[in-house]
Chains A and B, each alone.
Chain A
Amino acid sequence: MTLFRTVDDLLRGTHTRPEKLQKGEIDLDTGRLLTAVLLLGMTYGVFMGLYAVLRGGEGAIRQIGAATLKVPLLFVLTLVVTFPSLYVFSALAQSRLTFQMTLRLLLAAIAVNMALLASFGPVTGFFTLSTESYPFMIVLNVAFFTISGIVGLTFLRKTLAGVFEGAATGGQNVFRVWLVIYSVVGAQMGWILRPFIGDPHRPFELFRERQGNFFIAVWEAFWNLF
């Protein structure tokens, strides 16, 4: 329940008021944020992996297990890949954000992202129940990930605007570049970790062979709808 309270407060923006941020405070517990990210991600993962279970193919149970773990993993790994460079360059630009504050801020943004994604879960579950088309499920999931990603990053952008209010803009520019890098890395990380949904015509595999990239694949899935 306290975890729900943390997420609720986070979504309300209680922890990220500009007056607090400018003093360099974010009173959020890193451990609790991480737990929220993992649990919310796993919730959506279950809905995502349901498609394989309902199609009853070989390894369906393993697929739902994999999806449940992969969704939170996707976000944590993306953070691991992009955080060090963000910190280094933002310190170089003499940003007022400390290491700990940067980490908390990013985890908070990811938690917002995950909360929105998890709230799409029931809708994904419903479409999974009634849809045979694998390309449709891909496009639907990409849409939900994109929308919640945009909301998460908007939250980050607004919070940062609060942090940098009246300060030199070097640190802010670093973040702007980072936002783009984070989005691209996140999309490609999703591609590396695939399959999430599980093609019903293919046997279970934890990871697919290395080939292609995210952007080409989404384009193809869209055209396969018709």
Chain B
Amino acid sequence: MGSVLESVLAAGFADVDALLRGGGDEAEPPPWKRLLIASVSGGLFYGAVMGSYGLAPLQALYSALKVPLLVGVATLLCLPNFYTVNAVLGLRADFPRAVRAILSAQGTVAVVLAGLAPITALLYASLSVYGLAVAANGVMFLIAALAGQVALARRYRPLIAANPRHRLGRAAWLTLYIFVAIQMAWVLRPFIGDPSLPTRFFRSGAWGNAYVEVARLLWGLV
């Protein structure tokens, strides 16, 4: 019985394992479809845990949808530019591998988030201040993003070795992606759900521009 369970788990986690170990030419990332499944399920899982702070099932569901949405839509918006940048840099032939590298990194972020979810849940159980819950998630996302960077660096290593211009392509991707993802996260608020506010998919008046808000805040401080 134990060995059956073990083999089922091993089969299910083979993709996750390949994703996390990455690196080298021989260790190919999982195929597109399975990569997508691993990424989406990782995001859904963390999102559900993230949204359970107020113990409102609806908020947990919304947050579960929002995390894959955040990463997925931001990626789609930036891909046309990534293609053009690669082509202009003369890296068009490597484009499928570069996209693979980026999607593997996104998948790694999702899987690492899922791995951190139990810690978030434990923190939720021991924190009663909403602000601290927000900060805890900030730390989790930071850790996952750093793990994503490690995965990206690994997948990009053979590409950069073949053509150092891939460094520039990666930098262009990261700049645009971070710029878009920050705004995407702002638009999709709330992720955690302040228990003192009613549950909604979008916070009322949530649309707006993160950068304009930050500029106003800074200007208010000066």
Chain B, 178-208, contact with A by CB distance < 8 Å: what is the 0/1 string?
A: 0110011011000000000000000000011
Chain B residue at minimum C-beta to C-beta distance from A12: B92
B83 at the binding interface (Cβ < 8 Å): yes
B163 at the binding interface (Cβ < 8 Å): no
Chain B, 81-96, contact with A by CB distance < 8 Å: what is the 0/1 string?
A: 1011101101010000
A122-B219 in contact (CB<8A): no
A58 at the binding interface (Cβ < 8 Å): no
- Contact among B88, B207, B208, B218 for A116, CB-based, below 8 A: B88
Given contacts A12-B92, A136-B211, A226-B219, contact A126 B85 (CB under 8 A): no
Given contacts A131-B208, A226-B219, contact A126 B92 (CB under 8 A): no
A131-B209 in contact (CB<8A): yes
Q: In the complex, what's the smallest C-beta–C-beta distance from B177 to chain A, in angstroms?
A: 10
Complex Cα distance, B90 from A8, in Å, reads: 11
A126-B183 in contact (CB<8A): yes
A205 at the binding interface (Cβ < 8 Å): no
Complex Cα distance, B15 from A178, in Å, reads: 54
Looking at chain A's contact residues, the main secondary structure is helix
A130-B208 in contact (CB<8A): yes
**Residues 128 to 180 of chain B near chain A (Cβ within 8 Å):** 176, 179-180
Chain B, 66-82, contact with A by CB distance < 8 Å: what is the 0/1 string?
A: 00000001001110110
Complex Cα distance, B114 from A189, in Å, reads: 52
A119 at the binding interface (Cβ < 8 Å): yes
Residues of A contacting B218 with CB < 8 Å? 226
A119-B81 in contact (CB<8A): yes
Given contacts A12-B90, A126-B183, A226-B215, contact A119 B208 (CB under 8 A): no
Complex Cα distance, B179 from A121, in Å, reads: 14
Chain A residue at minimum C-beta to C-beta distance from B90: A13
Residues of B contacting A184 with CB < 8 Å? none
Given contacts A119-B83, A123-B180, A126-B183, contact A132 B208 (CB under 8 A): yes
Interface centre among A8, A112, A136, A226 (most CB of B within 10 A): A226
Count class of interface residues, chain B: 20 to 34
- Contact among B77, B87, B209 for A122, CB-based, below 8 A: B77
B76-A11 in contact (CB<8A): no
A145 at the binding interface (Cβ < 8 Å): no
Complex Cα distance, B179 from A155, in Å, reads: 25
Complex Cα distance, B211 from A118, in Å, reads: 23
Complex Cα distance, B186 from A133, in Å, reads: 15
A116-B85 in contact (CB<8A): yes
B87-A11 in contact (CB<8A): yes
- Contact among A12, A119, A151 for B80, CB-based, below 8 A: A119
Complex Cα distance, B83 from A225, in Å, reads: 31
Q: A11-B84, A225-B215, A226-B215 are known contacts; what are 18 more A-B pairs with Cβ within 8 Å?
A: A12-B87, A115-B87, A118-B84, A119-B83, A120-B81, A122-B80, A123-B180, A126-B73, A126-B180, A127-B209, A129-B207, A130-B183, A130-B187, A130-B209, A131-B212, A132-B207, A151-B88, A155-B88
Q: Which residues of A contact B (CB under 8 A)?
A: 8, 11-13, 112, 115-116, 118-123, 125-127, 129-133, 136, 151, 155, 225-226
Q: Which residues of B contact A (CB under 8 A)?
A: 73, 76-78, 80-81, 83-85, 87-88, 90, 92, 176, 179-180, 183-184, 186-187, 207-209, 211-212, 215-216, 218-219
A–B complex contacts, Cβ < 8 Å, 11 sampled: A8-B87, A8-B92, A11-B84, A13-B90, A119-B83, A119-B84, A123-B176, A126-B184, A129-B207, A131-B212, A132-B212
